[in-house]
Amino acid sequence: MNLARSRRMRSRAIIDSYLKMWPREVFDIRMGNKQLPVVRALLDAPGVYVLYRDDHPYYVGRATRRLRDRLHSHANRPGDRYYNFWNFFSAFVVPDRRHIPDVEGILIAAFPTENAATPRFRRVKLPAAVATALHARRLMSWHADADLAE
């Protein structure tokens, strides 16, 4: 794929780039009184982020201006609601702000987190007939295991 075609495809993409499982400590590293230029540059855009407690998703949030400002406040303000509960983060750069709620909703729906927000799309619960069939299957498996143990 040539470079021009690659740029055209990226310009239409909902997510421009992402950072996966970066340590919270990147906000503690400074050059003088500023964050590292590479961190500032990568997070100087709007987007959606996931805060992790160890390797478990804890919170999904959005930054409509700059990801670095939002993440920095979670990392360095002891009064922040999530300050004590995360040590890694992932960030998704979403250049078109209109897509931010959709990306955030998908991540909230995909991860079990502490979020109070609800995705803006319909949730489909497990149908009762499927739940009943699964329960019956589990009982049959349990009885078969019990018979083998005797």
Find, among 61, 16, 21, the residue nearest to 42 by Cα.
16
**28-37: pLDDT as tens digits:** 877 888 777 8
**Band of pLDDT at residue 62, cut at 50, 70 and 90:** very high
Question: What pLDDT score does 88 carry?
Answer: 94
Rounded CA-CA distance 33/72 in Å is 14
Q: How confident is the model over 101-106, as a mean pLDDT?
A: 91
Tell me the mean pLDDT in the region 14-24: 91
Q: What is the mean pLDDT of residues 105-130?
A: 73
Residue 92: its pLDDT value, please? 93
User: Would you state the pLDDT for residue 70?
Assistant: 93
Query: 5-14, 25-34, 48-57, 75-84: lowest mean pLDDT where?
Result: 5-14
What pLDDT sits at residue 66?
94
List the domains of the chain with CATH numbers. 3-110 (3.40.1440.10)
